[in-house]
A and B are shown apart, each in its own frame.
Chain A
Amino acid sequence: MLYRTAGQFKTSYKADHALFPVRQDALLLGFILLLAFVVFPLTASEFTFRALLIPVLIYSLAALGLNILTGYAGQLSLGTGAFMGVGAYACYKLLTIFPEMNIVIAIAMSGFFSAAVGVLFGLPSLRIKGFYLAIATLAAQFFLVWLFQKWAWLYNYNASGAIQVPNIDMFGITVAGPRATAMTQYYFVLGVVSVITLFAINITRGRIGRMWKAVRDMDIAAELVGINLMRAKLTAFFVSSYIVGVSGALFVFLWRGAAEANLFDIPLSFRVLFIAIIGGLGSILGNYLGAILIVALPVIISTVPATFGIPVDSAMVEHLNVMIVGALIITFLIVEPHGLARFWAVIREKLILWPFPH
Chain B
Amino acid sequence: MKTWMKAAATASAMAVGIALAAPALAQDGSIYIPNLSYRTGPFAATGTPLMNGQRDYITLLNERDGGLNGAKLVYDECETGYNTEKGVECYEKTKANAVVTQPWSTGITLQVLPKSNVDEIPILAPGYGFSAMADGKVFQWAFNPPSSYWDGASMILNHISDNDLSSLSGKKIALLHLDHPFGKEPIPLLEKLAAEHGFTLLPIPVGLTEMQNQSAQWLQIRRERPDFVVMWGWGAMNAGALTEAAKTKYPMDQFVGIWWSGHDGDLKLIGDQGKGYRSISWSVPNSESALMQDIKRHVVDAGKSHINQAEGEFDSVFYQRGVMISVILVEGIRAAQEEFDTQTPDAVQVRWGLENIKLDEARLKELGAEGMLVPFSTSCADHTGHGGGWMLEWDGSKFVKVSDIIQPDRSAIEPLEEEKAREYAEANAPWPVNEECEM
Contact = CB atoms under 8 A, between A and B. Distances in A.
B384 interface: no
B19 A52 contact: yes
A313 B208 CA distance: 26
A50 B90 CA distance: 10
B413 to A, nearest CB: 14
A300 B114 contact: no
B94 to A, nearest CB: 9
A262 B429 contact: no
Given A178-B428, A314-B77, A315-B39, A263 B84 contact: yes
B399 to A, nearest CB: 26
A165 B115 CA distance: 11
A307 B18 contact: yes
B89 interface: yes
Contacts of A299: 19, 89
Interface residues of A, number: 46
A81 to B, nearest CB: 12
B118 interface: yes
A318 B89 CA distance: 13
B184 A160 contact: yes
B106 interface: yes
Given A160-B130, A256-B88, A346 B40 contact: no
Contact of B110 (A160, A302, A304, A314): A160
Interface in B66-116: 77-79, 81, 84-85, 88-89, 92-93, 96, 106-107, 110-111, 114-115
Interface in A45-74: 45-48, 50-52
Given A47-B92, A50-B89, A300-B18, A256 B181 contact: no
Interface string A256-267: 111110110100
Nearest to A142: B209
B439 interface: no
Interface string A301-319: 0111011000001110111
Nearest to A317: B79
Task: Select the residue from B1, B420, B428 with max chain A CB neighbours within 10 A.
Answer: B428
B88 A167 contact: no
A258 B110 contact: yes
Nearest to A178: B114
Contacts of A109: none
Contacts of B184: 159-161
B20 A296 contact: no
A149 interface: yes
A303 B79 CA distance: 12
Interface in B105-142: 106-107, 110-111, 114-115, 117-118, 130
Contacts of B205: 149
Given A44-B20, A52-B19, A318-B81, A257 B185 contact: no
Nearest to B35: A314
A313 B77 contact: yes
A227 to B, nearest CB: 38
B5 interface: yes
Given A257-B111, A315-B79, A303 B428 contact: no
Interface in B142-201: 179-181, 184-185, 187-188
A166 B181 contact: no
A43 interface: yes
Contacts of A52: 19
Given A43-B20, A47-B92, A161 B85 contact: no
A48 B5 CA distance: 25
Given A159-B184, A300-B18, A166 B79 contact: no
B310 interface: no
B111 A256 contact: yes
B216 interface: no
B22 interface: yes
B117 A178 contact: yes
A300 B19 CA distance: 7
Nearest to A45: B22
A260 to B, nearest CB: 6
A149 B203 CA distance: 14
B130 A318 contact: no
B114 A164 contact: yes
B273 to A, nearest CB: 31
B430 interface: yes
Contacts of A317: 79
A265 B83 CA distance: 12
Nearest to A297: B15
Interface in A265-306: 265, 296, 299-300, 302-304, 306
A45 B106 contact: no
Interface in B205-230: 205, 207-209
Interface of B: 1, 5, 14-15, 18-23, 37, 39-40, 77-79, 81, 84-85, 88-89, 92-93, 96, 106-107, 110-111, 114-115, 117-118, 130, 179-181, 184-185, 187-188, 205, 207-209, 420, 427-430
Given A159-B188, A257-B88, 14 more contacts: A47-B96, A50-B92, A159-B185, A256-B85, A258-B114, A260-B84, A262-B208, A296-B15, A296-B19, A300-B15, A303-B19, A313-B77, A315-B37, A318-B40
13 contacts: A43-B20, A164-B428, A166-B428, A166-B429, A177-B428, A256-B111, A257-B111, A259-B84, A260-B84, A263-B84, A299-B89, A318-B39, A318-B79
